[in-house]
Chain A
């Protein structure tokens, strides 16, 4: 009498054998196993069916602008690298939290992005259109400190979000 655990182990090994057999193309005559093999073979013959659309990015770089004067003059750019690790073209949106500071008064709009120097907001705005899979692109950040911005230290976090191009 075979023990219950032995049967389980045997079943598992059989499953592995089935899989290996599918890969190597060995024929198995048992009808039950055939059904399993057919099902697995179908998946391996249509590999595209198993690859889902994936949308992901990697953001590299923190922007440190040092100390700027409140002179309403655009700073030098600080590039942020956005790399798509998706397998489909994506659009990239950007938004930021309001500045964190102690009693500061500088508006978030002092933070600009892209060559058009668009003002950052707390709502998503398009930053990159149609970024191809496995490609990367820099987006420049700028600061334009308005007159009257109190001398403080300001920090924020920018969020870049990818979505599949429809």
Chain B
């Protein structure tokens, strides 16, 4: 106990004599944490419109018009396709005159791409689907328009 007192007295003396102050923890650097969760996401980007120009009603398959489907998902996806019935004035061409690949289009979803991989932050994932026309005999002359809808869903 006596020694402890002496040590304390000595330390106090040193402090007073030389103006020393206790050193508190101080650092030229500091840190902080960052956390984030990434949710599963399903999304696609559809590029291009198909314009077939004027075709004859000859039941012959037209040239292909590619539609580009790019996945911006982070999970594998299935891509379905459907279309609205033709809009025309007095026209009679069935929607089935429009084909994706070799499959006639309908107003109900059909699988166009079965398993599309997800892109990565450094790579893309995209695929073309060809649209074609096969104008049946007897289709009335006129302008026909429709809208094709591509819908992605999680394939995982």
Instruction: Pick the interface stretch among B24-32, B105-113, B129-137, B140-148.
Output: B24-32
Q: Given that A15-B13, A71-B72, A153-B37 are known contacts, is A147 also in contact with B31, CB under 8 Å in the complex?
A: no
Interface assignment of B33: CB less than 8 Å from any CB of chain A:
yes
**Chain A contacts of B16 at CB under 8 A?**
16, 19-20, 23
Report the bound CA distance from A114 to B4 in whole Å: 54
Contact call B74/A160, Cβ cutoff below 8 A: no
Tell me if B9 and A154 are in contact (CB < 8 A): no
Which of A36, A63, A151, A154: most chain B CB closer than 10 A? Answer: A151
Chain B 4-18 interface mask (CB, 8 Å, partner A; 1/0): 001001101110111
Interface residues of B in 90-123 (CB under 8 A from A): 118-123
Q: Whose C-beta in chain B lies nearest to the C-beta of A8?
A: B6
Contact check, B33 vs A146: say whether CB atoms are below 8 A apart: no
Bin chain B's interface residue count.
35 or more
Q: Are A161 and B6 in touch, CB under 8 angstroms?
A: no
Task: Provide the main secondary structure of the chain B interface.
Answer: mixed
> How many inter-chain residue pairs (CB < 8 Å) link A and B?
169
A130 lies within 8 A of chain B by Cβ:
no
Q: Are A69 and B41 in contact (CB under 8 A)?
A: yes
Q: Which chain B residue has the least Cβ–Cβ distance from A155? A: B35
A68 and B36 contacting across the interface, CB-CB below 8 Å: yes
Residue B38 lies at the interface, judged by CB distance under 8 Å to chain A: yes
Contact yes or no, A40 B18, CB < 8 A: yes
7 A-B pairs with the lowest CB-CB distances in the bound complex, closest first: A59-B30, A56-B26, A148-B119, A19-B16, A146-B121, A67-B37, A65-B36
